[in-house]
Amino acid sequence: MSNKISVPSQSITTLDHVDGDLIVGRHSTVKARGTLLTINVAGTIYCEGNNIFEGNVSAKSLEAGDNVIIHGNLQIETDVEVEEGRLEVYENMTVRHVDIGEALFVVKNLVAEEIDIGGSLKVDGNVKAQTIDVGGSFNAKGEVETNKIDVGGSVSTDSKVNIEKLDVGGTAKVRGGRIREIDVGGSFESNGPLEFESIDVGGTVRLTEQSVGKKIEVGGSFRVEGDLKFGEIEVGGKVEITGSGEGEEVEVGGKVEVGGGLKLSEKLEVGGKVEVGGELLAKNIEVGGVVHAKKATAEEHIEVGGAIATIDGTTARFVEIGKKGEVQGPIKADQVIVGKEAHVENIYGKEIFLRSGAHAENIYGEIVTIESHCQINGEVLYVDELRLGEHVSLAKSPQKVKSLPS
């Protein structure tokens, strides 16, 4: 055969091997000859556009001006370039570099080093590549393994992934796996256990149980179905963990809901409300609104502007309740400050300070200060010193004792 073969436009040709280049005119079909049903091209395949290949295709490179359909496997040694149209491969595709203007569709598996698609990428099998850059949407039904995915619109995978960096302008949905770095402008969702280092999402995030990560930064809401182990959570709106949470610190502008317990090695800082079904444990707890937990414990301090409701009490070195706050359950701390007109139950501490108009059930402290117009419904026991303001209402006379009851 000659070094170059040309296929006329609007024709049907049967080939098996081309020593050089293959030039295919517009609206032409090339069929594979032989038992292997493979067209082997030693050089480059040039397609003018709207071409169909019936059988497997192998070549050094492929260049097309418009749409190309491969009814078989496509194996290209170097580059595939489709200037304006789309490429459809109905078996497996292996290539070094892909550059397609409109869309790429692969029925089975896609293996490449670099994938660059202007419109959409759809693969029904597995995808393995170094980089994937898509202007519109990327959808894969099989597993995805790549260093970087950069998509302007949306990403959707139906199997687990292994990705170093995921950068999506719109929405991303995966079915678990590992993503080291996640950067999504809209929403991100994982329907399987996910291992990650960082999540940075402008809108909403939803994860399933047994997910493990480090830094989470979300502008809107963050929800986990099940348990979560993490480093830092910073969310502008709401955090919801249906199971238990364990991490370093949480900073939320709105609300935190945890079905089980929440254990933090550093701080919990919430602008609104905190609801924890089990025990809340942190180094420092600062809540602008309300805390509901079975038990609230801080290594250093707890500061709540609104209310605390616990069954087993609130414990810290320092506890401060804001003005008109309410506390259900006992308070135990080295230092306790109860704001003006606040209502609390039993207080156990070394230094206890009730600001004017505060109400308490029982007070047990070493040094106790009760400002004017406070009301104590039970007893006041103190070890060292008691300071009473004017018009303090006491149900019983205060007693100085050598030691406080447990």
Of 186, 177, 181, nearest in space to 199 by CA: 181
300-304: average pLDDT: 97
On whether the pTM is more than 0.85, the answer is yes
pLDDT exceeds cutoff 90 at 23: yes
Q: Which helix (H) or strand (E) holds 123?
A: strand 120-123
pLDDT exceeds cutoff 90 at 131: yes
Residue 343 DSSP class: B
Share of the chain above pLDDT 70, in %: 100
Higher pLDDT, 1 or 139: 139
DSSP 29-55: EEEE-TTTTEEEESSEEEE-SSEEEES
Tokens of 266: 């550093």
pLDDT exceeds cutoff 70 at 28: yes
pLDDT (0 to 100) of residue 2: 52
Identity of the amino acid at 87? L
The Cα–Cα gap between 205 and 222 comes to: 5
Reported for 244-247, long-range contacts at CB under 8 A and 24+ positions apart, including other chains, are: 244/278
Q: Which helix (H) or strand (E) holds 151?
A: strand 144-151
pLDDT exceeds cutoff 70 at 1: no
The Cα–Cα gap between 36 and 158 comes to: 33
pLDDT exceeds cutoff 70 at 43: yes
The Cα–Cα gap between 396 and 382 comes to: 13
Q: Residue 303 in contact with residue 286, Cβ under 8 Å?
A: yes
Tokens of 14: 């049967």
Residue 162 to residues 178, 179, 182, 219, 225, Cα–Cα distance (Å): 5, 6, 12, 25, 21
Residue 130 to residues 121, 149, 156, 181, 320, Cα–Cα distance (Å): 15, 9, 18, 15, 54
Q: Residue 358 in contact with residue 344, Cβ under 8 Å?
A: yes
Share of the chain above pLDDT 90, in %: 97
Q: What is the pLDDT of residues 258-294, one digit of tens each?
A: 999 999 999 999 999 999 999 999 999 999 999 999 9
pLDDT exceeds cutoff 80 at 406: no
Q: What is the pLDDT of residues 329-379, one digit of tens each?
A: 999 999 999 999 999 999 999 999 999 999 999 999 999 999 999 999 999
Q: Residue 44 in contact with residue 59, Cβ under 8 Å?
A: yes
Q: What is the pLDDT of residues 240-250, one digit of tens each?
A: 999 999 999 99
Domains of the chain, by residue range, sit at: 1-91, 109-208, 333-406
pLDDT (0 to 100) of residue 279: 98
Q: What is the pLDDT of residues 118-128, one digit of tens each?
A: 999 999 999 99
pLDDT (0 to 100) of residue 35: 78
pLDDT (0 to 100) of residue 130: 97
168-192: average pLDDT: 97
171-189: average pLDDT: 97
